[in-house]
Amino acid sequence: MIDIYKKLPKTNCGKCGVPTCMAFAVKVKNAQRKISDCPYISPENMELPSLKPNVTQEDNYERVSSELEVDAKRTNFKEVSAAIGGHFEANNGCEIIRLKMLNKPYEMRKEGLFENGEYCHDSWSKIIIYDYIRRKGDKPLTGEWVTLGHFPNTASHVKAFQRSAEEKVATAFNDDRDKLKVHSKELGGIETSGKMKADFVCRFELLPRIPLYLCFWEADEEFQASCKLFLDSSAEAYIDIEYLAYLVERFVEKFTMEKTRDNTDSILLTP
Ligand code: SF4
């Protein structure tokens, strides 16, 4: 962490959404932020410092996912399943938690996280699901819809959201609500009514107990289309907020990806 800190400008300007460079270095070490999230980092300092030479950001993510994996494996799968909305199975002494992330099925086994019967090698999927399991959230939905900015230390994500997430969805489906509806359904979304008066409201499961509500207002003669993404305020109990922000970003990335009839797999969460 000190090695990372040495690479930062040390001005504590807060532009990265974290109040101090030291706090930011801790987050980078824990793979909660990328070193490039500091807008003032110089190109020569972009490489992660390490005690070993040639350690990459991906190595850092892998290290964090390995640490979280230890905690997740130690949990009582039956109890955790009930708490996080997973499906528990025990066959011949093998315990499994089945759950979906962004509509894609995963299995948590005592050997680690599996997808399609193979050990999962995507560090970020592992980080998110292991964190979700080890926290054992077990908090009912509050029914309070909040934006990402409601949660602490999300300032930098909020700006990125308006620009690259909500505007991206609005632009992609500007004048085509029908296309949006079809696309939402394909991603496992369920049209719903809710707290917002919008032309279209759809609920998605980021993880079993973490719903995301997409609200869409179609373009008219005066205004461009707009979109807002809401989370239930209970989300904080289930997952680290940095990981949650990343998960929502991945949702938007997949949601706005060009979709064709033949590539349904590509709109699911893939490494
Ligand atoms: S944006 Fe960079 S310089 Fe500013 S507090 Fe964050 S890490 Fe430090």
Please list every protein residue whose CB sits less than 6 Å from any atom of ligand 1: 8-9, 11-16, 18, 21, 24, 38-40
In this prediction, residue 223 carries a pLDDT of 84
Question: How far is CA 252 from each of CA 46, 167, 206, 223, rounded to the nearest angstrom?
Answer: 26, 10, 11, 22
Token pair, residue 231, equals 């989370």
Quote the CA–CA distance of 42 and 36 in Å, as a whole number: 9
Ligand 1 center to residue 132 CA distance, Å?
28
Among 5, 24, 32, 42, say which to mutate for ligand 1: greatest number of ligand atoms within 8 Å of CB: 24
Q: Please provide the distance, in angstroms rounded to a whole number, between the alpha carbons at the two ends of the chain.
A: 27
Q: Which atom of ligand 1 is nearest to the CA of 39?
A: 1
Ligand 1 center to residue 232 CA distance, Å?
30
Among 5, 6, 18, say which to mutate for ligand 1: greatest number of ligand atoms within 8 Å of CB: 18
CA max distance for the chain: 63
Using alpha carbons, select from 173, 174, 193, 195 the residue that is nearest to residue 182.
173
Question: Which positions ≥6 away from 189 have C-beta within 8 Å?
Answer: 202, 203, 204, 214
Q: Which atom of ligand 1 is nearest to the CA of 41?
A: 2
Ligand 1 center to residue 5 CA distance, Å?
10
pTM above 0.75, yes or no: yes
Quote the CA–CA distance of 8 and 120 in Å, as a whole number: 33
In this prediction, residue 219 carries a pLDDT of 84
In this prediction, residue 4 carries a pLDDT of 85
CA atoms within 13 A on the CB side of 145: 16
Q: How many residues does the chain have?
A: 271
Ligand 1 center to residue 16 CA distance, Å?
5
Ligand 1 center to residue 258 CA distance, Å?
35
- The SS3 assignment for 60 reads helix
Smallest CA separation from ligand 1 atom 2, residue: 38
Ligand 1 center to residue 30 CA distance, Å?
16
HEC per residue, 103-161: CEEEEEECCEEEECCEECCCHHHHHHHHHHHHHCCCCCCCCCEECHHHCCCCHHHHHHH
Query: 20: how many CB neighbours lie within 10 A of its CB?
Result: 16
- The SS3 assignment for 11 reads coil
- The SS3 assignment for 225 reads coil
In this prediction, residue 54 carries a pLDDT of 55
In this prediction, residue 48 carries a pLDDT of 63
**Mean pLDDT in each 10-residue stretch from start to end of the chain (271 residues)?**
84 83 84 82 72 62 90 95 95 92 95 95 94 93 89 70 76 84 90 84 95 90 88 94 85 71 38 32
